[in-house]
Amino acid sequence: MTLEKQTPTTIEVRRLPGLTPYAEAWDLQKALVRLRKNDGIPDTFVLCEHPPVYTVGRAAKDAGNLGAGEKYLRALGAEVFWSDRGGDATFHGPGQIVGYPILRLKVRDTHAYLRELEGVLIGVLGDYGLEGWHHPEYTGVWVGEKKIAAIGVKFTSGWITSHGFALNVKTDLTWFDRITPCGIKEFGVTSLSRELDRDISLAEVEEKVVDRFLRTFR
């Protein structure tokens, strides 16, 4: 009797150069989801940085968490998008690593997938001596009493994932002051550089994110 060997899943890593407009990354995700659904590409992990943009997910009942409103936020130089991901309002901008996994889930458990994404980021924080944790009532990752990473995903038929996470590395956190991030009022936000009180290389952190992501999902 011959036993089949379990072979690791192939995951293609795509790094988008420079600052990628949110609409461009969103269109790319939609195209990749269609290809993955038809097995036109392997599982894919897209990494990018966005210019200043506020996005609102499906959990938002209205624009209440956008602070003074879309017009005001656009006047500050940020874009605003109503997205089809889960979650509420958040900010993306320079100094933040945004990851968009386009995966066909083998284990069809949405909660398990979210916990695995959180685990990847908690592991990266651990590499820097920080204790990240998952709040039992909210999705995302915290350090102390402040949120350092937001997560909002979408599951398409065929159990294909899209959207993903945003990890604050050296983000200008004042952008978050204009909204209620993720609709959570009782917690503030933080970044890796603030917690370590030093400048952090975005490329260095990205390498750690990719390493832990591949170890988890491949």
Here the CATH number for the domain that contains residue 70 is: 3.30.930.10
Tokens of 15: 């790094």
Task: Provide the strand spans (E) within 157-210.
Answer: 160-168, 188-189
pLDDT per position as a tens digit, 58-78 = 988 778 889 889 999 999 999
Please state the domain count of the chain: 1
64 is in an annotated binding site: no
194 is in an annotated binding site: no
Would residue 2 count as lying in a domain? no
Q: How many Cα neighbours within 13 Å face the side chain of 120? A: 28
pLDDT per position as a tens digit, 120-136 = 999 999 999 999 999 99
Would residue 39 count as lying in a domain? yes
Q: How confident is the model at residue 107 (pLDDT cuts 50, 70, 90)?
A: confident
Would residue 202 count as lying in a domain? yes
Residues 6+ apart with CB under 8 A from 129: none
**Segment 101-130 mean pLDDT:** 96
Catalytic residues: 182
How far is residue 118's CA from residue 114's CA, in Å, rounded to a whole number?
A: 6
Does residue 31 have a pLDDT over 90? yes
Radius of gyration (C-alpha) of the chain in whole angstroms: 17
Helix (H) or strand (E) holding 92, with range, is: strand 89-92
Q: Tell me the percentage of the chain whose pLDDT exceeds 90.
A: 85
174 is in an annotated binding site: no
* pLDDT (0 to 100) of residue 9: 78
Would residue 6 count as lying in a domain? no
Residue 67: Cβ within 10 Å count = 16
Would residue 100 count as lying in a domain? yes
Phi, psi of 166 (to 5 degrees): -135, 120
SS3 label, residue 174: helix
Would residue 193 count as lying in a domain? yes
Helix (H) or strand (E) holding 98, with range, is: strand 96-102
Would residue 94 count as lying in a domain? yes
Q: Which domain holds residue 18?
A: 11-217
Residue ranges of alpha helices (H) inside 134-183 are none
Would residue 128 count as lying in a domain? yes
92 is in an annotated binding site: yes
187 is in an annotated binding site: no
